[in-house]
Amino acid sequence: MKFIYNVTANIDASIHDEWLKWIKEHIPQVLGTGKFEKATLTRVLVEEDMGGVTYSIQYHSYSREALDAYYREDADRLRQEGLKKFADKMLAFRTELQIIDEYTVNFT
């Protein structure tokens, strides 16, 4: 069974460009742990009452075991860099999603 480790982050406008550059370097570091097969960076298309811009990063893990190993071996170290760099200008929360089934369609 596969899982998605989803990180949703609201970024203050004052650091937006710097954060976007950083996250595009950070995602390959997370993938470099070997616990995820791919990641998707998306912008959440809602108007936030608190302002800023919201993004979602979805890391597709190989398994529950791989995700648990990420938490044990890598998560704290990788989270600290963003916290130090952006402190109170970034608000993030994390959720886990379990993939039940996947569907595709091909109209050729």
CA 69 to chain CA mean position, Å: 17
pLDDT, tens digit, for every residue of 7-45? 999 999 999 999 999 999 999 999 999 999 999 999 999
Among residues 89, 94, 64, the alpha carbon closest in space to that of 78 is found at 94
For residue 4, CA distances in Å to 1, 40, 55, 61, 97 come to 10, 10, 15, 6, 5
pLDDT, tens digit, for every residue of 57-90? 999 999 999 999 999 999 999 999 888 999 889 9
Q: Which position has the token pair 């997370």?
A: 30
The pTM for the full model equals 0.90
> Residue 8: CB partners within 8 Å, gap ≥ 6?
44, 54, 55, 56, 92, 93, 94, 95
The two beta strands, 3-11 and 90-98, are: antiparallel
